[in-house]
Every structure is written in structure tokens, then in C-alpha cells.
Amino acid sequence: MTRRFYVTTPIYYVNGAPHIGHAYTSVAADIVARFRRLAGDQVHFLTGTDEHGQKVEQAATAAGETPQAFTDRISADFRAMADTMQISYDDFIRTTEPRHVRGAQALWEKVAASGDIYLGAYEGWYALRDEAFYGEDELIDGPNGQKLAPTGAPVEWVREPSYFFRLSAYQDRLLELYEKRPEFMGPSGSRNEIMSFVRQGLRDLSISRTSFRWGVPVPNDPEHVMYVWFDALSNYLTALGYPDTNNPLMAFWPADLHLVGKDIARFHTVFWPAFLMAAGIELPSRVFANGWWTVEGEKMSKSLGNVIDPRDLVSEFGVDAVRFFLIREVPFGGDSDLSRRSFIHRLNTELANDLGNLAQRTLSLIARNCNGALPEAGARTEADTHLLAQAELLPSLMEEQVGRCALTDALEEAWKIIRACNAYIDHQAPWALKKTDPERMGHVLRVLADALRIIATVLQPWMPESMDRMLTQLGVSESERSFAALGVALPAGRELPAPKGIFPRYTEAEDEKGQ
Ligand code: ME8
């Protein structure tokens, strides 16, 4: 039976333009979605925009637009960014859509029916930038004795009537969840942090606001709008048609993977499971938090003017180079820095040299010496068998790693084989065999073409455009690009198109630094 796989990105706030940090989580989720499709799963991949709340309302006012016009415009820009980044989403949800508003209200009612929502008054600290409430004990000292949220965001004292969710009642159940299902959240640093936060005790959570209007009205009490996180988290369900259990998409619940940034791990691993427990809804299988990007060693900020729009990098280097770098630079889950120099260095060494040259050397030797057709597989030497056996293990090895969100380790597995292929081609020297043993030359080139087919197949999720070109050059048709298709050898004699370089070399940054 085909397995269903449901993967999500965070829904991004539309209070500002999309940047490389947003692209990052979406690319990671896209890799998982594409990988699962190649493995034969039926995938549902959701992304979207988070459009309510005070922060968005204020950004709209500052831009001199109505919240709706403002969110329409910025949401479209997020969608355009996702398209540029080749994010293969199946659905893009906006929290201002009626389907979402209905679903969020239905979830509220379901939680309320459990008895875990009560009306009270909120008095405490709120950080608008984080759209989060903080306890006095969590605050840190800022300059001039000013109090700040632990994230460094300014806080304000808020006092208003509010509905509360009885989060305090869920401490034991949450801890039990983390203990019993260690795979529920990762990476381990994030898990430890969350567990100690929950062990310290949970306060009830204010889940409605009355001081502004831009939100989902609370059922039966329209003076209140929902706290933006109650509204936002419910998107993962409302996009499947919740509460309509007849919607066929509901079969994708529970989600297999919520990918989020580490800044919002707490909302997804504490609040979200508690809401779902209250509503009697199954919990997602896994929440994984990615690290944080800085740019040339600095935090990205409007005031520093160093906010990177991924589309600028894409127009300069191509989408796959950006996708590759984002995942390759640091083990997925850790923090990372985007420096132009290291970006260009990786493109040159790993894409242009390691992979690009390997493909170019193999394909141009075939074009010149084998009439541009795929050579026969001959009797295999030990070196041939060894190389191919390693390459054939790639899909299952990488599947295990992608399953753990070890997206960088999975790339590294492919690179081990690429390096092994480079060692093989140097050692076998097919260009020399041309004179001494042309038949063996053909066999060597066929081994390389077969290994390259596997490499290009497994790398499709990371670099869909360039691997599409590489597979075309290797004579692999569109229907022969899944993991299952790897079991069927390509027929010898298949004509290959004229080879063309796939990954260019860049000189600028290395020259600038006098290298
Ligand atoms: O938090 N490095 O939306 P948001 C890495 N609407 N990732 C980054 C990043 C950076 N510098 N900056 C942003 C929200 N991200 C809520 C989510 S979900 C139900 C609601 C990524 O627009 C990272 O994944 O602030 C982070 O969690 C997300 O963008 C936050 O986007």
C-alpha cells in the first residue's frame, strides 16, 4: 500500500518581505517532500502564510494599507519566493481564507468542549515581535534597566479580558509524550531545552485578545479574537479540511513532520500537542527544528540592511546552488552563517569540481568515443562491482537519514560516492584505454554512467533543476527517475544528447580575497 506522508513548513508572518531564513525551512521541507515522492509515497506538502495578529495589523498600518490588502500583497510575495525556490508545495494556506477561519473556530470549540478553556483576565508581559507571552522570571535585563523577552524582543505590560487554555493541566501528559516518543521532537538540543521548560511547570495560556480586531473571532464571543498562535497552529489541520472528516485530505492526519525554526519549537512541541490532546486529536509524528542563519557573521536585520532575499542569490547563481548551499553548509539542525566567500567556495569545489567535472568527463568521453550512445555493461572487475555496490546502497542509506532529518548527512553520503567515482575514473583512466582496450573503455564509462544515474536520481530533491538536466544527459527519461526505476538498467545503445556543463565555476570571491 502506498504510504501517505504529510509534511509542513511554518506559515510565515506577512509583516515583512520573505528572506533567506524563510526560504531555508521551506527548502528543507521540500527536500523531504521530494524525497518521499521519489520513494513512492503519496505526499501532501503544505506551506502558507500567517496573516493575523497585532504585529501584522501594525505593519499594514505602517504601510498605509488595509490589513487585507497588505496581507494579499505580502502573501503573494511569499508564494512567489516559494515558486522561485522550486518549493513543490501541494497547498498554500492563508489564515485569512474562510476555510481556515472556519476550521480554527471548530478547533476552538472542540478544545472548549473539553472544559480546558475558561474566561479570565490577562495581566502580564507580551512581546509583540514574538507574538508571545512571557513570565516575569523569563525576562532578561536590557539596556537602561529595560526588561526584554529571552529572545531580546521588547515586552509590554498587557492587561485585558482573555480566554485561557488550561495548559498547566498538560504538564505530565506532555512529559510523558516526550519520554515515550523520543522521536517526537528533534534535534536533541532543542528537545532538552523544551523538556526542561516543561519540567519547570506550565502556566495557563492566554488564547484570546480584545485590544485589536485583526484575527479570527472567538466563537460565541466576537469581542475576542484568537491569540495568533492558536489560529496559526490550527492551519496544519484546517488545510486538510478540518473539521470535515469526509474530506479525503483528512487521511493525511496526523502529520508526519512539522519542520520549524528553533525559535518556534516551543509553540509546536508544547502548545500544539496540548491543544490537540484537549481536542482528542491524534498528535503529529515529529517536529524538527532547524537552526538560525546569520549573514557574514551578523544577525539579519532591517536596520543593518543585510536582509538577504534568496531571489537575488538565485538570479546570480541559480536556484540549485542556493538550495545546495543552504543544506550543505552546516549539519541540518545547527546554526549557520551565509558568507559569500564560503558560498562560492562550495559551489566551485563540490558542485563544479566534484560533481560537474565527473559528469562532464564521463559524458564527453561517451560522446566522443562511443558514438554518443550508452555503452554496454561488460564483465565487471572487482573495482566496478565495488563502486556500483556502494552507489546502489545510496537510496536506502539516504532514506534513513532523511527520515531523521539528517539532510546534510544524506548529501554527504552522495558525495562519498561522487568522490569514489572520481577516484575510479582517475584510476581506470578511460581516456588511455581508448587506444589500448577500447572495449574496456566502454565498460568503464558504463559503470560511471550507471553510478551517475544513481547519484543524480538521489540528488533530485536537493537540486531538482540541475539533476533534471543531468538525468536527461544520461539518457534517463522522466519515467525512469524514481528509486523503484533504478532497479531496471537502461538499454545499451540509447542515444545521449550532446553533453553540456551543468555547474559553472565562479572566480570573483576567491580572487577578491587574493586566493
Ligand atoms: O514564526 N534562520 O513566522 P515567521 C533560519 N508565523 N530560519 C529562519 C530565519 C533565520 N534567520 N528567520 C526565519 C512565525 N526563519 C509564525 C509561524 S507556524 C504555525 C507559525 C524561519 O515569519 C524559521 O523556520 O517569523 C522560523 O521558524 C520561521 O522562518 C519563522 O517565520
Q: Does residue 10 line the site of ligand 1, with CB under 6 A?
A: yes
Nearest CA to ligand 1 atom 31: 12
Sequence-separated (6 or more) residues with CB below 8 Å from residue 444: 384, 425, 428, 430, 433
Strand partners, 147: 141
- Side-chain half-sphere of 161: how many Cα atoms within 13 Å? 9
DSSP-assigned letter for residue 478: G
Question: How far is it, in rounded angstroms, from Cα 103 to Cα 403?
Answer: 30
**What is residue 515's predicted lDDT score, i.e. its pLDDT?**
37
Q: What average pLDDT score do residues 409-434 get?
A: 98
Question: How far is it, in rounded angstroms, from Cα 448 to Cα 428?
Answer: 11
Please determine, for residue 514, whether its predicted confidence score (pLDDT) is greater than 60: no
- Distance linking the first and last C-alpha atoms of the chain: 55
Please determine, for residue 172, whether its predicted confidence score (pLDDT) is greater than 70: yes
Average pLDDT value for the chain: 96
Please determine, for residue 294, whether its predicted confidence score (pLDDT) is greater than 70: yes
Per-residue b/e over 387-402, b at no fewer than 16 CB within 10 Å? bbebbbebbebbbebb
Distance 260 CA to ligand 1 centre (A): 7
Q: What average pLDDT score do residues 121-135 get?
A: 92
Nearest to 34 by CA among 464, 341, 474, 473: 464
Nearest CA to ligand 1 atom 23: 261
> Are 23 and 85 contacting, i.e. CB atoms less than 8 angstroms apart?
yes
Q: Does residue 261 line the site of ligand 1, with CB under 6 A?
A: yes
Distance 12 CA to ligand 1 centre (A): 6
Question: How far is it, in rounded angstroms, from Cα 417 to Cα 6?
Answer: 30
Distance 99 CA to ligand 1 centre (A): 23
Distance 133 CA to ligand 1 centre (A): 17
Q: Does residue 266 line the site of ligand 1, with CB under 6 A?
A: no
Nearest to 251 by CA among 505, 3, 504, 515: 3
Residue 12 alpha carbon, nearest atom of ligand 1: 22
Q: Ligand 1 pocket check: which of 56, 94, 260, 272 to mutate, most ligand atoms within 8 Å of Cβ?
A: 260
Q: Encode pLDDT of 242-282 as tens digits.
A: 999 999 999 999 999 999 999 999 999 999 999 999 999 99
Q: Does residue 310 line the site of ligand 1, with CB under 6 A?
A: no
Question: How far is it, in rounded angstroms, from Cα 105 to Cα 99?
Answer: 10
Distances (CA, A) of 11 to 234, 275, 285, 509: 11, 18, 19, 35
Distance 9 CA to ligand 1 centre (A): 9
Strand partners, 239: none
Q: Does residue 259 line the site of ligand 1, with CB under 6 A?
A: no
Distance 10 CA to ligand 1 centre (A): 7
Q: What average pLDDT score do residues 196-220 get?
A: 96
Distance 174 CA to ligand 1 centre (A): 24
Q: Encode pLDDT of 79-110 as tens digits.
A: 999 999 999 999 999 999 999 999 999 999 99
Confidence of residue 144 (pLDDT cuts 50, 70, 90): confident
Q: What average pLDDT score do residues 25-49 get?
A: 98
Residue 50 alpha carbon, nearest atom of ligand 1: 6
Please determine, for residue 513, whether its predicted confidence score (pLDDT) is greater than 50: no
Q: Encode pLDDT of 438-447 as tens digits.
A: 999 999 999 9
**What is residue 301's predicted lDDT score, i.e. its pLDDT?**
82
Name the percent of the chain in helix, strand, coil, to the closest 5: 55, 15, 30
Distance 22 CA to ligand 1 centre (A): 6
Phi, psi for 123 (deg, rounded to 5): -140, 120
Confidence of residue 201 (pLDDT cuts 50, 70, 90): very high
C-alpha grid cell, residue 228: 495568533
**What is residue 434's predicted lDDT score, i.e. its pLDDT?**
93
Question: How far is it, in rounded angstroms, from Cα 2 to Cα 315?
Answer: 38
